[in-house]
Amino acid sequence: MARAFIAEADLDELRLIPAGDPYHRDQQCTAAAHHRLAMVRLGIAGQQGMVLDDREMRRPGQSYTIDTLEEVRAEIGPESPLWFLIGADSLARLDTWKDWRRLFSLAHLAVAIRPGFCASQLPHAVRMEWTRRQATGVPIQATSGTILRLTLPPLDLSASAIRDGLAKDIDISHLVPSAIASYIREHGLYR
How high is the pLDDT of residue 76? 95
Which domains, and CATH codes, for the chain? 2-187 (3.40.50.620)
- pLDDT at 165 exceeding the cut of 80: no
Q: Are 143 and 105 in contact (CB under 8 A)?
A: no
Quick one: pLDDT at residue 158? 66
pLDDT at residue 45 tops 90: yes
Average pLDDT over residues 17-43: 78
CA 30 to chain centre: 15
Predicted confidence (pLDDT) at residue 29 exceeds the cutoff of 60: no
Query: pLDDT band for position 177 (50/70/90)?
Result: confident
CA 133 to chain centre: 19
